[in-house]
Structure 1
Amino acid sequence: MSLYSVGSEQLLDHSHLKPGDNASLLSYAKTINMYRANAKKTNDVEIQCDFAIFLVEAAKRLDESGDPPPPPQQQQQQDLGDDTTTTQSSASAYLNEAEKLLKQVAIRGHSASQYYLANMYSSGLLHKSNKFEYDRAFPFYVQAAKHHHPDAAYRTAKCYEDGLGTRRDKGKAVQFYRKAATLNHPGAMYRLGLAEIKGELGLSSNIRDGHKWLKRSAEASTTEYPHALHELGHLHERGLASIIFQDHDYAVRLYQDASDLGYAPSCFRLGECYEFGRLGCTVDPRLSMHYYGLAAEQGHPHACFALTAWYLIGVPGLMEPSDEQAFAWAKVAAHSPVKGGAHHQGLARAEYAVGYFYEVGIGIEKNMTMAWTYYRRAAEQGEKRAMQRLQSGDAPSAAEQTAQMMMMDQQQQPAVYQSSSASTPPALSPPHSNSSESSLSTNSSSAAAGATTTTTHPHRHSMQPPQQRPTPTSSSSASVASSRSWVKKWKQKLNWTKSRSSSSPSLV
């Protein structure tokens, strides 16, 4: 059974229960035996709940190590006085024991146990085929919510709204959202804010109340729930009625706060602002690529495609053009699912661009078979240029396709091109405004590792709002004459590439 289906947001933080630096002095199995014995001696529900969660962590450890489970007839030995005795158990045995113990504690009204058990069911952790068991999770969410558990109240509301484990009921969804919101749950306050503004969940539109809920959610925002910051930034870009005023400076600060929490859409929006000089931001290629990079590391397709443009044209004094990196990021964008799009469909413009790169030979060897494959993918999503290219009649013959596929099998592609799922273009390190050196790194890193340092939040009473926006470097300001200079350079670049193949289409 795979245990990776349980998201980090569904597991409580029990890192303090993991073995320490001196764990080798006592076997992991014997540690569990000692913990089990101590948990049985006490009636403390907190200790018993902690032990159950420790068992789940132990099951994850077994699953990750790949150790084979013991035979079913082999029982755990409880003799703590025998130092040579080791406790062996499969991951499923640990999970079953944890489930049994959590049920016993949950019956006694322990909300944390009820919530954790519900998460185990809803994530499919206790099902042999990892099926999400919302019908078993829902009653425990309700019980924990009645004991004033904020996350449980929020998940109960989600179950009522989406019909997970129960029938849809907008009225009860609002009821539990309000309960979670009164317990300061940022996700619940965000959902209520949207519902009030848009008139959803059976509520009448009330912009003033919706704005209040969004502001409260922003004040309590976390890495798991940064959405209200972004939504408020979007609203203050335009203003709404006479209640939400237009304030571009404030909108940028909100986007920056959300980006500090790792929210990809806010990172992408800031990348646009510093690329085109929007919302009063000064054009700064370094900051633009930095924020695009933060979003792209999380698979944001539009950010990946924006990096394609930057790498295609380069930035004088900052970065040389790289057709190879342009191709790599375009391919990532073409394989990154677009929100609201069909399953597993990437960005249509990126799919067309990858087809163009394959046809012309930009950053990759020419391959008409692959070009037409990506043109078809883009055309399926309504990309007109791809449709026109497919209708041009220049498609490779079946024999040419077979020959090219055989050639691809024989050739070893560079690592960055091997597959869309395995290839990860180089990450972008955070920019340093006081340095004229390039901040681009060729080492791959995760989104968490490449996140910006936490800055102050404009709403939190314990913190002061940022005094000013990041200022562009002198070298980057001098390298870009205007906010549209990159467009001209990209067109020049494409005109140059068109000379390679006079029959090739244009990207712009």
Structure 2
Amino acid sequence: MEYVERPRSCYIPRKPIPWNAQLEDAPHRNSFASSSGSWSVVSDSLDSIALGDSFSSGSERARHSPKDYRAFSFSRLSTASPGFQVSWLEGYSQSSPAVNPGNAHLRPSDGDKASLFRKKQTFDMYLANVKKTDNANVQYEFALFLLDSIQNRSTESTEMTPDHLRKAAKSILRRLSDRSHPHAQYYLGDGYASGLFSKGAEDYDRAFPLFVAASKHGHVEACYRAALCYELGWGTRVEAARAAQFYRQAASKNHPGAMLRMAQACLTGDMGLGRKRYREGIKWMKRASESSDMQYNSAPYELGLLHESGYGNDVFPDASYAAQLFTRSAELGHAEASYRLGDAYEHGKLHCPRDPQLSIHYYTCAAEQGHPLAMMAICAWYLVGAEPILEQDANEAYEWAKQAADLELPKAQYAVAFFTETGLGCERDPFEASAWYVRAADQGDIRAKQRISTIRAAGGFDVDEGPSKGKKRTDEHRPKWLGIF
């Protein structure tokens, strides 16, 4: 299978869109509820470690990877908008034994984010007592606490450097991994895969065997990660049959990413499954949709695509239900679903009413996650305005187009060239406009090629008069200036 590079970052908008809409009135909202919990390593038990006492595990909580380990985009079912790719391989939180060490006694003087490790002596005391205990879960939680301290540490000077804390955590996790502690095996492997424990370089040669080892002890996320390694050749050779085996094992334990991958494999017949198994694929898709969360939010969107157009005799077309599923994915943070809803509320698609407020809201949700077409949609809204919700603002329109152009969207590059050529929302600069036209033309934008030909035929820039800044949006139509949208 072809290796697919993951995006390294996403754009956070320079200025948020004014938003006062009452989303509760949206016809496809409130059918699904979601919440994202956060955990804290701070409670009252770290004092027990300092005293040399052992303590038992508390309630289960979700653990996040040190950083998102992959975001791929070869969804077999969706037709994503150009310039943005829909991912079905995303980070997942694996429940682990929870003990909540605390620093409440430091808060009166240092505040809620006080660092326990301002002094090396304090760190050495905790570490020495953790090593004395035979409770593997205590040691595991302390290792995670050390890693969290790196991110939450005070800006004040301290003798404990992040590298010191990271090495101590790695040492603890390695010892626990040698004792076959599944959560330690997974987190150590995740640290190698993310570069946390390998100086920023992804090291799947070390991560893969740790994922396999943890999966043998029933660690669901490790099982899913091992399946990814087998399918994509990370730290091992590509073995589709083994990948399918691990995916099925994780899916049987309700892992939403694994269930979605099994659904796609059944519907497309890939991963060595041979013939297509439509009913089994639909079953996995529905189960994945029901189990979707903030980390795995693609399944409702993928199922919505099936209901939008129908899928053979197994799924009948239902635009309203498709919009409902898109809304669920959007609420869980799925950018493409947010973009589709913005488009639906703008043009009245999927049985959604025309609603500028909801349209701008969902476009903004998608744009905040780096969706270039959503950025261009917001650009268009700023050009025409949607009073009293959004005032016309050519400067903001240019800024949004520029952000989309920086993400290599050809139509955005053409738009920036036009803005720059005419001085709409920015200073007029024919030479910069020419450069943007060339960038858009290099990516196949026909209008940019035509404009370059016109400029060359005229022997230079023959700047046309820009569009009227006073033109307002009508109820039924929005002007497409020079066809840039």
* 2:225 aligned to which of 149, 155, 158: 155
User: Residue type of the partner of 2:67?
Assistant: G
Provide the secondary structure at the position in 1 that maps to 2:295: coil
Are 1:375 and 2:434 matched, yes or no?
A: no
Residues 211-240 of structure 1, C-alpha deviations (whole Å, 9 max, x = no match): 111111111111000110100011100001
| Whole-angstrom distance in 2 between the partners of 1:54 and 1:244 | 47
Size of the aligned set, in residue pairs, is 378
User: Residue type of the partner of 1:172?
Assistant: R
* 2:146 aligned to which of 47, 51, 55: 55
User: Residue type of the partner of 1:154?
Assistant: Y
Whether the aligned pair in 1 keeps the contact of 2:259 and 2:288 (CA below 8 Å) is yes
Give the 5 Å matches for 1:333-352. 333-336=404-407, 346-352=408-414
* 2:415 aligned to which of 353, 360, 369: 353
Whether the aligned pair in 1 keeps the contact of 2:414 and 2:440 (CA below 8 Å) is yes
Residues 69-107 of structure 1, C-alpha deviations (whole Å, 9 max, x = no match): xxxxxxxxxxxxxxxxxxx34322322222221121112
Report the counterpart of residue 331 of structure 2 in structure 1: 260
Are 1:191 and 2:191 matched, yes or no?
A: no
Whether the aligned pair in 2 keeps the contact of 1:56 and 1:95 (CA below 8 Å) is yes
The runs of 5 or more residues in structure 2 that have no matched partner are 1-64, 69-90, 111-115, 462-472
| Whole-angstrom distance in 2 between the partners of 1:40 and 1:242 | 61
Residues 1-53 of structure 1, C-alpha deviations (whole Å, 9 max, x = no match): xxxx9316478798944644734576544553343233122111100111111
Report the counterpart of residue 362 of structure 2 in structure 1: 291
Are 1:42 and 2:133 matched, yes or no?
A: yes
Provide the secondary structure at the position in 2 that maps to 1:393: helix
Give the 5 Å matches for 1:107-122. 107-122=178-193
| Whole-angstrom distance in 2 between the partners of 1:151 and 1:91 | 27
Whether the aligned pair in 2 keeps the contact of 1:45 and 1:105 (CA below 8 Å) is yes
Residues 276-307 of structure 1, C-alpha deviations (whole Å, 9 max, x = no match): 11111111111111110111111110100011
Report the counterpart of residue 475 of structure 2 in structure 1: 481
Change (3 A) 1:52 1:506: closer
Give the 5 Å matches for 1:140-289. 140-203=210-273, 204-289=275-360
| Whole-angstrom distance in 1 between the partners of 2:332 and 2:272 | 31
Report the counterpart of residue 500 of structure 1 in structure 2: none
Report the counterpart of residue 329 of structure 1 in structure 2: 400
The runs of 5 or more residues in structure 1 that have no matched partner are 69-87, 337-345, 401-478, 495-504
Report the counterpart of residue 7 of structure 1 in structure 2: 67
Change (3 A) 1:250 1:162: same
Provide the secondary structure at the position in 1 that maps to 2:404: helix
User: Residue type of the partner of 1:22?
Assistant: L
Report the counterpart of residue 451 of structure 2 in structure 1: 389
| Whole-angstrom distance in 1 between the partners of 2:321 and 2:228 | 31
Whether the aligned pair in 1 keeps the contact of 2:99 and 2:138 (CA below 8 Å) is no
| Whole-angstrom distance in 2 between the partners of 1:133 and 1:262 | 29
| Whole-angstrom distance in 2 between the partners of 1:56 and 1:11 | 16
Residues 398-424 of structure 1, C-alpha deviations (whole Å, 9 max, x = no match): 9x9xxxxxxxxxxxxxxxxxxxxxxxx
Residues 175-216 of structure 1, C-alpha deviations (whole Å, 9 max, x = no match): 000111111110000111111111121112111111111111
Report the counterpart of residue 444 of structure 1 in structure 2: none
User: Residue type of the partner of 1:132?
Assistant: E
Q: Which moved more, 1:17-26 or 1:374-383?
A: 17-26
Greater relative contact order (Cα 8 A, min sep 6): structure 1 or 2? 2
Q: Which moved more, 1:15-24 or 1:148-157?
A: 15-24
1:61, distance to aligned residue in structure 2 (A): 4.8
Length-normalised TM-score, structure 1: 0.69
User: Residue type of the partner of 1:481?
Assistant: D
1:395, distance to aligned residue in structure 2 (A): 9.9
Whether the aligned pair in 1 keeps the contact of 2:417 and 2:434 (CA below 8 Å) is yes
Report the counterpart of residue 22 of structure 1 in structure 2: 106
Length-normalised TM-score, structure 2: 0.73
User: Residue type of the partner of 2:132?
Assistant: K
1:66, distance to aligned residue in structure 2 (A): 8.7
User: Residue type of the partner of 2:367?
Assistant: A
Q: Would you identify which runs of 4 or more consecutive aligned residues in structure 1 move more than 6 Å?
A: 10-15, 395-398
| Whole-angstrom distance in 1 between the partners of 2:255 and 2:426 | 49
User: Residue type of the partner of 1:44?
Assistant: N
1:391, distance to aligned residue in structure 2 (A): 2.0
Whether the aligned pair in 2 keeps the contact of 1:111 and 1:149 (CA below 8 Å) is yes
Provide the secondary structure at the position in 2 that maps to 1:7: coil
Give the 5 Å matches for 1:427-438. none
| Whole-angstrom distance in 2 between the partners of 1:218 and 1:112 | 26
Whether the aligned pair in 2 keeps the contact of 1:304 and 1:329 (CA below 8 Å) is yes
Residues 439-486 of structure 1, C-alpha deviations (whole Å, 9 max, x = no match): xxxxxxxxxxxxxxxxxxxxxxxxxxxxxxxxxxxxxxxx9633xx22
Residues 243-295 of structure 1, C-alpha deviations (whole Å, 9 max, x = no match): 01111111111111111111111100000110111111111111111110111
User: Residue type of the partner of 1:255?
Assistant: F
| Whole-angstrom distance in 1 between the partners of 2:457 and 2:93 | 52
| Whole-angstrom distance in 2 between the partners of 1:105 and 1:395 | 72
